Amino acid sequence: MESLDDLKVYQELWERARFVEQDDVPAFRALNALIGDDGLVTRFWGPSTIPRLLEYDMGTQNFYYLLADHPSGMVRLLTLMHERELQAFEILGRGPCELVMLVENTSTHYISPNVYRRFNGPHVKDFVQAIHRAGKIAIIHMCGHVRDLLPDIQRTGLDGVHALTPPPTGNTSWETALDVLGEDTVLFGALDPSIFISGPAERIGPTLDALYTPRLRNAHFVLAPFADGIPVSLERFQAIQSWMDRNGE
Question: Domain spanning 4-21+42-247: which CATH class is it, in words?
Answer: alpha beta
Residue 120: the pLDDT is 95
Distances (CA, A) of 112 to 98, 148, 153: 32, 9, 13
Would you place residue 191 in the very low, low, confident or very high pLDDT band (cuts 50, 70, 90)? confident
Summarize the chain as % helix, strand, coil (round to 5): 55, 10, 35
Would you place residue 3 in the very low, low, confident or very high pLDDT band (cuts 50, 70, 90)? confident
Residue 23: the pLDDT is 95
**Contact at 8 Å (CB) between 153 and 127?**
no
Question: Do β-strands 137-141 and 99-103 pair in parallel, antiparallel, or remain unpaired?
Answer: parallel
Dist CA 232 CA 115 (whole Å): 36
Secondary structure (DSSP) of 164-219: E--TTTSS--HHHHHHHH-TT-EEEEEPPHHHHTSS-GGGHHHHHHHHS-HHHHTS
Q: Domain segments of the chain: what residues?
A: 4-21+42-247
pLDDT in tens, 108-135: 999 999 999 999 999 999 999 999 999 9
Residue 228: the pLDDT is 75
Secondary structure (DSSP) of 85-120: HHHHHHHHHTSS-SEEEEE----TTTS-HHHIIIII
Dist CA 246 CA 110 (whole Å): 40
Residue 28: the pLDDT is 96
pLDDT in tens, 13-45: 999 999 999 999 999 999 999 999 988 999 999
As a whole-number percent, the residues of the chain with pLDDT over 70 amount to 100
Would you place residue 193 in the very low, low, confident or very high pLDDT band (cuts 50, 70, 90)? confident
Q: Kindly tell me if the per-residue pLDDT of 249 is higher than 70.
A: no
Residues contacting residue 99 through CB under 8 Å, at least 6 positions apart: 40, 42, 43, 136, 137, 139
Would you place residue 225 in the very low, low, confident or very high pLDDT band (cuts 50, 70, 90)? confident
Query: Cα 243 to the chain's mean position, in Å?
Result: 27
pLDDT in tens, 157-179: 999 999 999 988 899 999 999 99
81 by DSSP, 3-state: which?
Answer: helix
**Contact at 8 Å (CB) between 118 and 62?**
no
